[in-house]
Chain A
Amino acid sequence: MHMKKLHLILPFALAALLPVSASAQEAAGIDWNRRTAEHLLNRAGFGASPAEVDAAVARGLAATVDGLFLTADRQVPLIAPERESGKDGMKSEAGERVRDAGGKDVAPKELLDDAREQRGMMRRTDRGQLGDYTAWWFDTMIAGEDPLRDRMTLFWHGYFTSSMQDVKSSYRMIQQNQLLRTGALGSFGDLLFAVAKDPAMLEYLDNDENKKGSPNENFAREVMELFTLGEGHYTEDDIKEAARAFTGWRSKGAEFTSSKRRHDAGEKSVLGVTGRLDGEDVLAILLNDGACAPYVAGRIIEYLEGVTPTDARRSHYAGVLSADDFNVEALLRELFLDPDFYRDEVVGSRVAGPIDYLVGMSRRMDVMPPRVWLTYGSELLGQELFFPPNVKGWDEGMAWITTASFMQRGNLAGILLGVVDVNDVLSDTELDVIDELDDMQMEALEEQPKSKKRGVLARLKKIGKGWSPSLNLAGDMASAGARTPAASVDVLADMLLGVELPADTRAFLVGEYTKLQATERMEVDRPRFGDRRRDEDDLRNLAHLILSLPEAQLN
């Protein structure tokens, strides 16, 4: 099994390969303009302000693509995760005393209560630490200094999934995220080997409980189905044999170890290769299997284009991957210079996921939103960072859009713009149906049960207090020279949308804005902006409407 030597984990400094000059292959057949530039910035990052789009157009395609692959010394510094909580950190001191007292069946009640309280406190500290890290991740995406790495880190988070739900350790989750971030643009093989031994993954797919004599197949199955080959390219026997090969892998204090005692050293046969295989051997077999490169290439292309690639396209990019030791950067460089990446079927027709929607809006308006708006907002829309729904990650595309999530997107935009009073979400939501309710129903309204989602809404209420975005849309219109409703709609839509405005929508918006301006100020029942000018109020309401439309869900 000499091949595995090629894929030993390299120091990550080496993973940042020498950039191939994009200018050498200055792409023919790509009309580089504001539309295509915005498309690239949407997909290779999380959207751009009009000024950033203009700058990219001026820079040219090749230079813009080159700029996406930052050198190591320009990488965003990683925050140092604290180890002080969670199951890999400090032991509960009260828990020790329970053990000393002979275990939970005989320990006195006060001791058990203490232990429970300490466990709860540690859990809260752990969640708090993950919350801080999540906020850092959001900040990074919004700042957009390393957009492609941000984009691919999110991709890998949905590819090599692990969830805090099962891992229950912020330290492990953060370590995994940094692993994905560091290796996001490097060799897929390196990433696969590192993730397979990553403590969060060992826990998430139970490989740390996989031992000789009674193997656990969870990781062995998913590594074939979702990480390397895809369904249909292996047999049930391959899974059973691979599970045996992975026996003995463990994590101790959140570090990878391998236990000889728990390892099944016998002969196994996986995908036609027979020998006394261990876990690394299996990973090397999978990586070198003919189905792996097309699978990985297909997943990346589908994520970035929003369209399932044709077999020919998949196999072309599989070739690009395998020709360069599974170097993801090589694939991405070629893709971003490929005229097909800019075809009509692709540009502006991908549904923005919740992170795309929230981060993209913040970037385009240049607003740093309150932390809870990002964390609870993304949870409300179905994409909670560090909590992917299952091992397959998030379903992309129209799966993001339900009747409910569609409406909530608009409401979240209104909250960020400061035009929706968050209290309306809860207390006044039934106002327009209330006259049709009887007394019994009114009472029922006040006795709503408490669920997680209601909790999320309630927490969102917090940001209503005192939040006011530092926006000056009226000033933006003035400096853009927009003096007519049509001109204002154009400037605002260009700022807020990741796609071009269709003619019928433009006509509608011009009509609405004209109406808005004609409305008597008297109708506004509360002062929303203190002494701000009326124009600002109108423009924010127009922005709220634009961000609620189908066009704003595209990128």
Chain B
Amino acid sequence: MKNPISRRAFLQAATAAGALTFTSPLGHATRLTWSQATTGGSGNLLLLQLAGGNDGLATVIPFGDDALHAARPKLGRKKSEVLALDTYRGLNPELVGLRKAFDAGELAIVEGCGYADPNRSHFKSMEIWQTADHRGRSSGDGWIGRLSDTAWKDAADVNRVINVGEKQPYSLASKSHPSASFVIPEGYRWIDTEGEIADYDKKTGGEVGGTLGALRRVLDDARASSKAVRQAVGGYRPKAVYPTGDLGDALRSAAALFNGSIGTRIVSVVMGGFDTHNDERSRHDRQMRDLDAALTAFREDLAGTEAGKRTVTMAFSEFGRRVAENGSDGTDHGTAGPMFVMGASVKGGLYGKHPSLTKLDDGDLVYTTDFRSVYATVAAAQFDVRRDFLGHDYGTLPLL
């Protein structure tokens, strides 16, 4: 691994060689002890969170269902208006690139993903997806954090899981596996104080708890990722042209990290703007267009590369939307929706089962596939963990 020589790397090497039990001056022993073997498989994951509640019925559109047109006289779409996948359903017309991926057998669409006793609060439902637990945050770490515990035991590496964005989504929350976060590589360092901050990291310590202790750990993480991230992303030359904008930039950075040599295995990106209570047609179409353009560039960029073979993209949202449109040409909060899993190693096609548009629960779709079975499928294939790593066996799907 071509890591810059950080204190962390040095300590990891030292402990690996000598099998020492190391307690760092910062008091986070587990973060610096090295477990011997290379566990955690060899795959990568781009985790794409569509925040706000993506309207599944406007993404994978069941145009062949009369019930759709009855419930959505304004928002429903006819066959001629969609990218038909068969006689029942078609992709949103903006998803031209994803249609190509589907035709190439690299896009799996899992229909009807959700969970029992659905919560229609953005925040609570997002927590449920982020923790894979109905209790949400009160259950503990995010599901990527739990995955990291299983896949990499106590060998923490701040550059392994990286969030490209301002706020770290709770999926990545972990007591033992911190992750780096950045938006753009410029300025991803302490200008003029790097050396002094390094001294601080070495000279302060002891068992400091509380907020100060937590901040000191982030300082250590920031030092460990600053140069690595700037090297991997700053000098990256993509093979495809990414669309202008934050999502395009973020996926470009994701490709750079997966192509780089700093050991990044999971990149998390959040795309907002899906809460379409009004004027949904044009707003949602724009979202689909932006999503498609960025994902298509990402797919083209990675095509044929080693990183491309290893990388899988998984997109999810906290809920789908109500079947019936509301009075302002939009839709209110609903329940189940489709998930996308895309990549060279994916066995493309339709999975799960489209939820019935007539057998509704209080106006909402009844989920057909537990979203955790998709998590388990991806985690098992990409990171060599048992499919019950979430504490329960939700089954897997044959898409990887």
Interface residues of A, Cβ cutoff 8 Å to B: 205-206, 209-211, 213-218, 221, 225, 231, 236, 349-351, 382, 389-392, 395, 398-399, 401-408, 410-411, 414, 419-420, 424-426, 429-430, 432-433, 436-438, 440-445, 448-454, 457, 502, 504-505, 507-508, 511-512, 541, 544-545, 548-551, 553-554
Q: Roughly how many angstroms separate A414 CA and B187 CA in the complex, as a whole number?
A: 12
Query: Is the beta-carbon distance between A411 and B190 smaller than 8 angstroms?
Result: yes
Residue interface bits B200-237, CB-to-A below 8 A is 1, else 0: 10011110101110111011011001110011001111
Q: Roughly how many angstroms separate A444 CA and B185 CA in the complex, as a whole number?
A: 13
Contact of B212 among A216, A429, A554 (CB under 8 A): A554
Q: A382-B167, A402-B167 are in contact. Are A213 and B327 (CB under 8 A)?
A: yes
Q: Roughly how many angstroms separate A530 CA and B168 CA in the complex, as a whole number?
A: 42
Q: Verify if B153 is at the interface (C-beta below 8 Å from A).
A: no
Q: A209-B278, A210-B328, A449-B252 are in contact. Are A433 and B193 (CB under 8 A)?
A: no
Q: A382-B167, A414-B193 are in contact. Are A407 and B188 (CB under 8 A)?
A: yes
A residues near B206, Cβ cutoff 8 Å = 504
Query: Is the beta-carbon distance between A453 and B200 smaller than 8 angstroms?
Result: no
Query: Is the beta-carbon distance between B186 and A441 smaller than 8 angstroms?
Result: no
B residues near A404, Cβ cutoff 8 Å = 166, 180-183, 188, 222
Q: Which residue of B lies closest to A547 (CB)?
A: B193
Contact of B234 among A433, A443, A452 (CB under 8 A): A433
Q: Roughly how many angstroms separate A544 CA and B191 CA in the complex, as a whole number?
A: 10
Number of A-B residue pairs at CB separation under 8 A: 231
A residues near B398, Cβ cutoff 8 Å = none
Query: Is the beta-carbon distance between A217 and B332 smaller than 8 angstroms?
Result: yes
Q: Which residue of B lies closest to A395 (CB)?
A: B167
Query: Is the beta-carbon distance between A398 and B189 smaller than 8 angstroms?
Result: no
B residues near A419, Cβ cutoff 8 Å = 192
List 7 A-B pairs, Cβ < 8 Å.
A209-B277, A215-B326, A351-B211, A390-B52, A398-B211, A405-B181, A406-B218
Q: Verify if B244 is at the interface (C-beta below 8 Å from A).
A: yes
Q: Verify if B70 is at the interface (C-beta below 8 Å from A).
A: no
Query: Is the beta-carbon distance between A411 and B187 smaller than 8 angstroms?
Result: yes
Q: Roughly how many angstroms separate A508 CA and B278 CA in the complex, as a whole number?
A: 56
Q: Roughly how many angstroms separate A512 CA and B199 CA in the complex, as a whole number?
A: 9
Q: Roughly how many angstroms separate A165 CA and B197 CA in the complex, as a whole number?
A: 37
Query: Is the beta-carbon distance between A403 and B235 smaller than 8 angstroms?
Result: no
Q: Roughly how many angstroms separate A455 CA and B362 CA in the complex, as a whole number?
A: 46
B residues near A445, Cβ cutoff 8 Å = 234-235
Q: A206-B328, A406-B219, A550-B212 are in contact. Are A545 and B196 (CB under 8 A)?
A: yes
Nearest chain A CB to B181 CB, angstrom units: 3
Contact of A425 among B187, B197, B333 (CB under 8 A): B187
Nearest chain A CB to B252 CB, angstrom units: 7
B residues near A457, Cβ cutoff 8 Å = 184, 186-187
Q: Which residue of A lies closest to B205 (CB)?
A: A504
Q: Roughly how many angstroms separate A432 CA and B231 CA in the complex, as a whole number?
A: 10
Query: Is the beta-carbon distance between A505 and B333 smaller than 8 angstroms?
Result: no
Query: Is the beta-carbon distance between A429 and B185 smaller than 8 angstroms?
Result: yes
B residues near A541, Cβ cutoff 8 Å = 192
Query: Is the beta-carbon distance between B196 and A440 smaller than 8 angstroms?
Result: no
Residue interface bits B47-69, CB-to-A below 8 A is 1, else 0: 00001100000000000000000
Query: Is the beta-carbon distance between B122 and A392 smaller than 8 angstroms?
Result: yes
Q: Verify if B124 is at the interface (C-beta below 8 Å from A).
A: yes
Contact of B231 among A436, A443, A454 (CB under 8 A): A436
A residues near B311, Cβ cutoff 8 Å = none
Contact of A350 among B203, B211, B328 (CB under 8 A): B211
Query: Is the beta-carbon distance between A401 and B218 smaller than 8 angstroms?
Result: yes
Q: Verify if B145 is at the interface (C-beta below 8 Å from A).
A: no
Q: Which residue of B lies closest to A209 (CB)?
A: B328
Query: Is the beta-carbon distance between B203 and A550 smaller than 8 angstroms?
Result: no
* The 10 residue pairs across chains A and B that have the minimum distance between CB atoms: A214-B327, A441-B235, A209-B328, A402-B181, A550-B215, A403-B222, A444-B237, A404-B182, A451-B249, A217-B332
Query: Is the beta-carbon distance between B186 and A429 smaller than 8 angstroms?
Result: yes
Q: Roughly how many angstroms separate A277 CA and B112 CA in the complex, as a whole number?
A: 36
Query: Is the beta-carbon distance between B235 and A225 smaller than 8 angstroms?
Result: no
Query: Is the beta-carbon distance between A443 and B203 smaller than 8 angstroms?
Result: no
B residues near A406, Cβ cutoff 8 Å = 215, 218-219, 222
Query: Is the beta-carbon distance between A206 and B199 smaller than 8 angstroms?
Result: no
Query: Is the beta-carbon distance between A433 and B120 smaller than 8 angstroms?
Result: no
Contact of A424 among B188, B191, B234, B332 (CB under 8 A): B191
Contact of A429 among B199, B221, B234, B362 (CB under 8 A): B234
Query: Is the beta-carbon distance between B327 and A407 smaller than 8 angstroms?
Result: no
Q: Which residue of B lies closest to A411 (CB)?
A: B191
A residues near B235, Cβ cutoff 8 Å = 430, 433, 437-438, 441-442, 444-445
B residues near A349, Cβ cutoff 8 Å = 210-212
Q: Which residue of B lies closest to A402 (CB)?
A: B181
Query: Is the beta-carbon distance between A206 and B330 smaller than 8 angstroms?
Result: yes
Q: Roughly how many angstroms separate A430 CA and B119 CA in the complex, as a whole number?
A: 46
Query: Is the beta-carbon distance between B333 and A217 smaller than 8 angstroms?
Result: yes
In B15-46, which residues have CB < 8 Å from any A CB?
Answer: none
Nearest chain A CB to B9 CB, angstrom units: 16
Query: Is the beta-carbon distance between A410 and B218 smaller than 8 angstroms?
Result: no
Query: Is the beta-carbon distance between A508 and B199 smaller than 8 angstroms?
Result: yes
Q: Roughly how many angstroms separate A295 CA and B232 CA in the complex, as a whole number?
A: 46
Q: A225-B121, A382-B167, A502-B212 are in contact. Are A217 and B203 (CB under 8 A)?
A: no
Q: Verify if B320 is at the interface (C-beta below 8 Å from A).
A: no
A residues near B212, Cβ cutoff 8 Å = 349, 502, 550-551, 554
Q: Roughly how many angstroms separate A165 CA and B290 CA in the complex, as a whole number?
A: 17
Q: A214-B327, A407-B222 are in contact. Are A544 and B245 (CB under 8 A)?
A: no
Identify which of A214, A407, A408, A504 gathers the most chain B CB atoms within 10 Å of its CB: A407
Q: Verify if B341 is at the interface (C-beta below 8 Å from A).
A: no
A residues near B186, Cβ cutoff 8 Å = 425-426, 429, 448, 454, 457
B residues near A411, Cβ cutoff 8 Å = 187, 190-191
Q: Verify if B292 is at the interface (C-beta below 8 Å from A).
A: no
A residues near B249, Cβ cutoff 8 Å = 449, 451, 453-454
Q: Roughly how many angstroms separate A429 CA and B234 CA in the complex, as a whole number?
A: 9
Seed contacts A210-B328, A402-B167; 15 additional CB < 8 Å A-B pairs: A209-B328, A218-B277, A390-B52, A390-B275, A392-B123, A402-B182, A405-B166, A441-B237, A451-B249, A452-B246, A457-B186, A504-B204, A504-B206, A508-B199, A550-B216
B residues near A382, Cβ cutoff 8 Å = 166-167
Query: Is the beta-carbon distance between B193 and A402 smaller than 8 angstroms?
Result: no
Nearest chain B CB to A202 CB, angstrom units: 12
Q: Verify if B242 is at the interface (C-beta below 8 Å from A).
A: yes
Q: Roughly how many angstroms separate A440 CA and B168 CA in the complex, as a whole number?
A: 32
Nearest chain B CB to A166 CB, angstrom units: 9
Contact of A420 among B180, B192, B272 (CB under 8 A): B192
Q: Verify if B317 is at the interface (C-beta below 8 Å from A).
A: no
Q: Roughly how many angstroms separate A443 CA and B51 CA in the complex, as a whole number?
A: 35
Contact of A403 among B225, B242, B333 (CB under 8 A): B225
Q: Verify if B163 is at the interface (C-beta below 8 Å from A).
A: yes
Nearest chain B CB to A356 CB, angstrom units: 13
A residues near B167, Cβ cutoff 8 Å = 382, 389, 395, 399, 402
Q: Verify if B343 is at the interface (C-beta below 8 Å from A).
A: no
Q: Roughly how many angstroms separate A430 CA and B185 CA in the complex, as a whole number?
A: 9
Q: Verify if B248 is at the interface (C-beta below 8 Å from A).
A: yes
